[in-house]
């Protein structure tokens, strides 16, 4: 008998899997599952391994694998927390271990706010499977039916006597049993949860506080060289010539290498450049400064972000590609008493996470080992293997802690750089990106322009709605040819507009790519929520309604919205619409809650104002209320409140923390975020000219979690999109000044 290993597409696997979205099978069922796993290393070994995620030691310590990447969001707590609840163990007995890159885990790409919502059920099933195996082992040891035993708090109890055995005593025997089939698993009712819903401290918090936590920049290997790379300042440039003489004179510099030339579509490939390898970071940086590099011409060297934005603004003023339509739009505008129009602009943005990318590699003829602050260990494995001519199972990826990620570290170009240099030198190599490298050579959030028009009657009713958007697509980064937004991006707050206007049309316009475009925290929701939320406030002013009332009027009756019924290929964040529908009642609930809790409908002092906005993203609902003061041309943000409905909550403390962080991220974008280019080169270089919100600019922040028994939604990103609109709306109500072009500091000091 032979075992057939198949390449199972994610879409077909999810459709056919009994476990559900984003998950894996427990033991068998997926062809070649066990064989595929065996080729990849596991962080848990020994006699007490019950499945891919759980091992129990003889002393009753429970080792639980977290297969996702920790970047401050608390996932190394949340994933084990769910599993441990179903396993039914005391949290004090749990040790969390980090998973290596391994296709057996299902997706390890920690972005898109997917970790809990895609693996909640899977982790429960993994815990329940292990518990039932322990119960079976105890039943066999005692010679009693399995329905007379129960696992609880690390012990299996015989329900009709005082007998009990610890999980540690049973683990070795349980590990020899066949795992139960998925349809036989018995999961707890929510009323019996002991850990899910509890605010547990992050498992890494002590190490983070005492400095012992290991991030990508902290990795040290014996005999390691440090690399700093002079990368092409314009996408598409190649090394025409270089002079390494000056670099080689720097004390500690050991080698200079021209990086292998890369394809024109940047994808996850490293940028073209010249690397300086040295005994320490300082020598590598100084040697790099002494390099002389001449670059070839590029098609993108004339790219000017200001001119590009003007082009986008011009395009959204013209009819575009219709992606969704409802009713007689032309008739509604022709017959309206008035038309309100506005155009909104958002510049290029960059992630600016605290820790720049870093990766360390060791390469031999048939093996590579990587240590990286990566959000995507499997993609790292695949891209490194391809670059080195190895098979994926020959590449071991160790995931360190991440000092922030926001989507930047889900692009593995920096790990590929380390692997190529390690192969060249025959020594361990750490590639260190400086802050300047990160700002000037990253993957950027797309610049965008949006046009909104509304047809209004004298009674204040909105009878027609037209919106257009233009921004370069992430797909351009992978093809070099796509020149318009794609449905997946348009699904992020644009084509899924929830309004109940009888005549409505959504259109997109073309936009060519000139820099590496990549996903950033909340992706295209950034520009779409800003423009939509700001325009609703303008509609309120135009019709004499309060912003709160205007939102209710546009959202209409409680209902489920289906954009596909109106011609739009809506992606719904990759989740099934019957499980995660667009629910207007939930949207209104968070809006009403944030207005009530913040007092945003109350009067304010002189030169002060409230702004509100609400948005659905990553299948969660968030409303934000912002209070500002505007005096003498300066805006101060005084308060930020958010209400979130993210369905079932695993760890409320982490939800609040994520909301606080994402609101501050959104505040940085709103107030100060801008990447500008001249001659195809990024002008900004560090926090002095790409600032993020500082302590003195941070307002009082409060978060209100809506109790819900709906399936878990995303948490890491949904708090960002409504912030910018709430800020500019508050500025209008404090000063009478409309800001339609971000960032705010182009208009007011902050």
pLDDT at 5 over 80: no
Would you say residue 327 has pLDDT above 60? yes
Token digits for 350? 């960059």
Please say if the pLDDT value at position 382 is more than 90: yes
pLDDT for 264 equals: 86
Is residue 406 packed enough to be buried (19+ CB in 10 Å), middle (13-18) or exposed (0-12)? buried
Beta bridge partners of 702: 641
Please give the domain boundaries of the chain with CATH numbers for all domains: 10-210 (3.30.365.10), 216-299+357-432 (3.30.365.10), 317-350+443-746 (3.30.365.10)
Q: Is 319 exposed, middle or buried (0-12, 13-18, 19+ CB in 10 A)?
A: exposed
Q: What is the mean pLDDT of residues 12-17?
A: 31
**621: pLDDT strictly greater than 50:** yes
| Residue 377 neighbours by CB under 8 Å, 6+ apart | 69, 99, 100, 101, 108, 397, 399
18/613: higher pLDDT: 613
DSSP, collapsed to helix, strand or coil, labels residue 57 as coil
What per-residue confidence (pLDDT) applies to 582? 98
pLDDT score at 1: 28
Question: Cα-flanking dihedrals φ and ψ of residue 51, to 5°?
Answer: -165, -170
Q: Which residues contact 273 (CB under 8 A, 6 or more apart)?
A: 229, 230, 231, 232, 239, 258, 259, 293
Given a cut of 70, whether residue 11 has pLDDT beyond it is no
Measure the CA–CA gap between 347 and 332, rounded to whole angstroms: 32
Please, which residues have CB within 8 angstroms of residue 460's CB and are 6 or more apart in sequence? Answer: 543, 544, 545
pLDDT at position 628: 98
What mean pLDDT do residues 41-49 have?
Answer: 93
% of the chain beyond a pLDDT of 90 = 94
Q: In this structure, what is the dihedral angle of CA atoms 209, 215, 217, 219, given to the nearest 10 degrees?
A: 110
Beta strands in 183-235 (DSSP E): 225-231
Entry pTM? 0.94
Residue 669 near residue 693 (C-beta atoms within 8 A):
no
Section 398-413 average pLDDT? 98
Per-residue pLDDT tens over the stretch 219-257: 999 999 999 999 999 999 999 999 999 999 999 999 999
Segment 306-326 mean pLDDT = 98
- β-partners of residue 582 are 561
The arithmetic mean of pLDDT across residues 58-67, rounded, is 97
Look at residue 38 in the predicted model and tell me its pLDDT.
64
pLDDT at 16 over 50: no
pLDDT digits over 336-365, tens only?
A: 999 999 999 999 999 999 999 999 999 999
As given in the structure block, the two tokens for residue 682 are 């990024």
Average pLDDT over residues 571-576: 96
Q: Is the pLDDT of residue 27 over 90?
A: no
Amino acid 31: pLDDT: 29
CB 601 within 8 A of CB 700: no
C-alpha R_g of the chain:
27
Q: Is the pLDDT of residue 305 over 80?
A: yes
Give the pLDDT band of residue 37 (cuts 50, 70, 90).
low
Beta strands in 244-385 (DSSP E): 253-258, 273-278, 292-295, 321-326, 338-346, 358-364, 367-372
Q: State yes or no: pLDDT of 643 exceeds 60.
A: yes
Residue 721's pLDDT is: 98
Cα-based distances in Å from 106 to 29, 377, 569, 584: 14, 12, 26, 32
Confidence band, pLDDT 50/70/90 cuts, at residue 312: very high
Residue 687, pLDDT > 70, answer yes
Rounded percentage of the chain residues whose pLDDT exceeds 70:
95
pLDDT of residue 39: 77
| DSSP conformation letters of 12-46 | HHHHH-SS-TT---SSSSSTTHHHHHHTS--S--S
Q: C-alpha dihedral over 310, 314, 316, 318, to 10 degrees?
A: -170
When the pLDDT of each residue in the chain is averaged and rounded to a whole number, the result is 94
Tokens of residue 702, six digits: 């409060």
Query: Are the beta carbons of 148 and 139 closer than 8 angstroms?
Result: yes
Q: Given this model, what pLDDT does residue 553 score? A: 98
Q: Which two tokens stand for residue 191?
A: 């009323």
Rounded Cα gap, residues 50 and 65, in angstroms: 12
The per-residue pLDDT for range 422-458, each reduced to its tens digit, is 999 999 999 999 999 999 999 999 999 999 999 999 9
Token pair in block for residue 613: 């906005």
Q: Does pLDDT of 77 surpass 70?
A: yes
């Amino acid at each position: 008998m032979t075992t057939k290993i198949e390449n199972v597409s994610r879409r077909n696997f999810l459709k056919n899997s009994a476990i559900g979205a984003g998950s894996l099978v427990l033991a068998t069922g997926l062809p070649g599952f066990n064989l595929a796993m065996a080729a990849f290393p596991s962080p848990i070994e020994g006699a007490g391994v019950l499945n891919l995620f759980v091992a129990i030691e003889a002393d009753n310590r429970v080792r639980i694998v977290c297969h996702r990447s920790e970047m401050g969001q608390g996932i190394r707590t949340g994933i084990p927390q769910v599993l441990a609840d179903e396993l039914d163990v005391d949290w004090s007995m749990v040790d969390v271990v980090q998973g290596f890159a391994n296709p057996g885990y299902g997706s390890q790409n920690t972005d898109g706010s997917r970790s809990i919502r895609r693996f909640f059920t899977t982790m429960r099933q993994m815990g329940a499977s292990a518990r039932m195996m322990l119960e079976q082992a105890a039943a066999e040891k005692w010679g009693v039916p399995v329905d007379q035993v129960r696992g609880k708090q690390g012990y299996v109890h015989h329900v009709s006597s005082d007998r009990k055995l610890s999980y540690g005593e049973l683990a070795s025997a349980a590990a020899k049993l066949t795992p139960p089939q998925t349809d036989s698993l018995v999961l707890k009712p929510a009323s019996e949860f002991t850990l899910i819903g509890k605010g547990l401290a992050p498992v890494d918090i002590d190490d983070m506080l005492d400095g012992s936590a290991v991030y990508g920049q902290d990795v040290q290997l014996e005999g390691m060289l440090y690399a700093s790379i002079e990368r092409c300042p314009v996408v598409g440039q190649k090394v025409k010539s270089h002079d390494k003489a000056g670099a080689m004179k720097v004390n500690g510099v050991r080698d200079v290498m021209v990086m292998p030339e890369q394809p024109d579509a940047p994808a996850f490939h490293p940028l073209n450049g010249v690397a300086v390898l040295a005994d320490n970071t300082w020598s590598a940086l100084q040697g790099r400064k002494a390099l002389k590099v001449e670059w070839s011409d590029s098609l993108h060297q004339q790219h000017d972000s200001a001119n590009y934005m003007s082009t986008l603004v011009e395009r959204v003023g013209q009819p575009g590609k219709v992606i969704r339509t409802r009713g007689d739009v032309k008739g509604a505008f022709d017959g309206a008493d008035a038309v309100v129009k506005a155009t909104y602009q958002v510049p290029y943005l960059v992630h600016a996470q605290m820790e720049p990318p870093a990766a360390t590699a060791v390469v031999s003829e048939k093996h590579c080992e990587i240590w990286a602050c990566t959000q995507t260990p499997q993609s790292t494995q695949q891209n490194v293997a391809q670059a080195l001519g190895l098979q994926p199972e020959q590449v071991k990826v160790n995931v360190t802690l991440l000092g922030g990620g926001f989507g930047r570290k889900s692009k593995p170009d920096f790990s590929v750089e380390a692997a190529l240099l390690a192969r060249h030198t025959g020594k361990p190599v750490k590639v260190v990106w400086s802050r300047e490298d990160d700002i000037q050579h990253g993957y950027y959030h797309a610049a965008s322009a949006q046009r909104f028009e509304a047809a209004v009657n004298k009674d204040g009713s909105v009878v027609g709605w037209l919106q257009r958007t233009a921004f370069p697509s992430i797909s351009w980064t992978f093809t070099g040819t796509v020149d318009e937004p794609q449905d997946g991006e348009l699904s992020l707050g644009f084509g899924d507009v929830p309004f109940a206007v009888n005549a409505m049309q959504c259109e997109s316009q073309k936009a060519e790519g000139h820099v590496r475009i990549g996903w950033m925290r909340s992706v295209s929701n950034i520009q779409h929520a800003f423009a939509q939320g700001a325009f609703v406030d303008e509609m309120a002013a135009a019709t004499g309604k309060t912003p709160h009332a205007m939102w209710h009027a546009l959202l209409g009756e409680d209902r489920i919205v289906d954009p596909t019924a109106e011609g739009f290929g809506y992606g719904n964040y990759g989740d099934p619409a019957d499980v995660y529908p667009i629910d207007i009642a939930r949207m209104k609930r968070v809006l009403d809650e944030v207005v009530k809790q913040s007092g945003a409908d109350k009067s304010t002092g002189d030169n002060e104002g409230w702004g509100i906005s609400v948005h659905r993203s990553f299948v969660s609902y968030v409303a934000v209320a912002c209070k500002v003061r505007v005096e003498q041309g300066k805006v101060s943000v005084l308060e930020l409140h958010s209400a979130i409905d993210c369905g079932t909550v695993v760890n409320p403390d982490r939800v609040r923390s994520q909301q606080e962080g994402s609101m501050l991220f959104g505040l940085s974008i709103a107030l100060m975020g801008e990447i500008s280019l001249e001659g195809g080169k990024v002008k900004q270089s560090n926090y002095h000219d790409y600032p993020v919100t500082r302590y003195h600019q941070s307002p009082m922040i409060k978060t209100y979690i809506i109790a819900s028994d709906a399936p878990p939604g995303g948490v890491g990103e949904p708090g960002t999109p409504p912030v910018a609109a709430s800020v500019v709306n508050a500025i209008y109500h404090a000063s009478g000044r409309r800001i339609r072009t971000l960032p705010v500091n182009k208009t007011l000091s902050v």
